[in-house]
Chain A
Amino acid sequence: MAVPAVPIPAAPPAPSPLSAGDTAWVLVSAALVLLMTPGLAFFYGGLVRRKNVLSVLMQCFVVICILSVQWVVFGYSLSFGPDVKGIIGSLGWAGLRNVGAEPFPAYAATIPHSVFMIFQAMFAVITPALILGAFAERMRFSAFCLFILLWATFVYDPVAHWVWSAGGFLSRIDAGGNIGRGAADFAGGTVVHINAGIAALVAALVLGRRVGSVSPPHSLPFAVLGAGLLWFGWFGFNAGSALAANGLAANAFVATHVATAAAGLGWVLCDWIYHGKPTTLGVISGAVAGLVAVTPACGFVTPMSAIWIGLGAAVFCWLAVTLVKAKFGYDDSLDAFGVHGVGGIWGALATGLFADKAVNGVSGLFQGDAGQFGLQVKAVLITVVYSFVVSFILLKLVDWIVGVRVNEHEERVGLDLTQHKEAGYTVLE
């Protein structure tokens, strides 16, 4: 570039508030979080029987399609738009009105508002997808599509507003954009995992048990592949939630990684001690439980605390799928409640125990702040009750409109053939 010989006497332009580094990191993180949903498809798809593998992959993929459109049309506005009495966002940002290249500083001061929006879109996509683990192998596809759309609108969007928006009644951010006291949920323990986990329990109860014998997973290698993709994508989910390429993102990244490793180890040890053999399904289940539990905590705790959070997740989730599910007999096909519900509740409470002021300015119970722990308990209870009640109503409504469950013949033949007229695998050429 040629340098003018004589300086031009004009006022320098105001420096752009945007950071190229932060913007790049959050864009990449959004793509990482997107990959979690196909990853989840393989994690869940490997665990069902051969005759239902496509139904699971299809449900995961269609969630991306339905909710990405819902999000830009009105979902983002309901979740993060201008606050209405702390309960819900207005429709002021529907159709991405006022959501463009300018940052919205209350959420993220150094990246375009549209980047924050699309990062959050990926969370809105994967959360309902988590629920399908509970009703896999028996839900009618039309009912699935309707339920997912309703659930995102009436459960996910409001809860995301309460916990994360400027002005939400559980949020750390007030309507003026100032950070104060509130439930500490860094990347979505309450909004994503407790919310989806409780909806999963309700779905398992409303749909009832699968018919016949439930055979073993048809492809554990697929499940391992899926778990690996989830672990990889989760770095975007958690470290990306710093919304900047900074030290907090690094802390979240490291905490996420070690909690996951510790939880995989913990579950394997439980299996080894209780069943005499370490299982592959155990190590990946533990890893996912660790990812779930560290999600709310990763931006508030030190990596050493994250190890305890991971180990706790392994033990509590292992107990939930081993003892609690067997005792109560609900058919949570792929343990969406056992892993996401239980792991999410543990993670939210553990954030209130282990939060370290040096990490992100929030102290937990172990640093003497019982109030913060109380806020965590409050957010957990409200989310559990709200998700339980509204998910139940929505499932009953969908059942009344189209019927939630396939008939017994369709279930025995399999959802791939009866819902999609396809087969996942051929036997002959």
Chain B
Amino acid sequence: MKYVIAIIQPDRLDPVLDLLEKKEIHLVTVSNVMGRGRQKGISTVYRSHREAGNLLRKVKLEIAVNDAFVNATVGAILKGAYTGEIGDGKIFVLDLQECIRVRTGETGGTAIG
């Protein structure tokens, strides 16, 4: 089992969700997050006072998958989130030790599905 974390541009969320759906990957948790990468954030101006290095708005997806679905998941995110501009984001793939469904108490691969 793997745990896939992706940080993407907020406006790329819908294409990514569509592509995941097509690969029958329905389980996903989404949150609004702030962050910065190589572009070092942005500056804003308030009454001529410049605020440098403000964090940018991003969207974080968290997806737990069985090993057979890892490539499909990463592929869907790569395709849906891609614009070619700086700030498209990152994907992290982590080993997942355990997964337990709260309603039934099932564990492991059956709990993910």
Query: Which of A's residues lie within 8 Å of B, judged by CB?
Result: 215-217, 271, 274-275, 277, 279, 281-282, 285, 318, 321-322, 326, 335
Contact = CB atoms under 8 A, between A and B. Distances in A.
B70 to A, nearest CB: 32
Contacts of B46: 216-217, 279, 281
A277 B47 contact: no
Contacts of B54: 216
Chain B interface size range: under 10
Interface in B45-62: 45-49, 51, 54
B51 A271 contact: no
Given A216-B46, A274-B48, 16 more contacts: A216-B44, A216-B51, A271-B48, A275-B45, A275-B48, A277-B45, A279-B45, A279-B46, A281-B47, A282-B47, A285-B47, A321-B48, A322-B48, A326-B48, A326-B49, A335-B47
B45 A321 contact: no
Interface in B16-57: 44-49, 51, 54
A318 B48 contact: yes
Nearest to B45: A275
Interface of B: 44-49, 51, 54
Interface of B is mostly: strand
Q: DSSP class of A's interface residues: helix, strand, loop or mixed?
A: helix
7 contacts: A215-B51, A216-B44, A216-B46, A279-B46, A285-B47, A322-B47, A322-B48
A322 B47 CA distance: 7
A325 to B, nearest CB: 9
Q: Which 9 A-B pairs have the closest CB atoms?
A: A322-B48, A321-B47, A275-B45, A216-B51, A281-B46, A216-B46, A281-B47, A216-B44, A285-B47
Specify which of B45, B46, B49 lies most central, judged by the most chain A CB atoms within 10 Å of its CB.
Answer: B46
Contacts of B48: 271, 274-275, 318, 321-322, 326
Contacts of B51: 215-216
Give the residue among B46, B48, B49, B51 with the most A Cβ atoms within 10 A. Answer: B48
B71 to A, nearest CB: 36
A304 B51 CA distance: 38
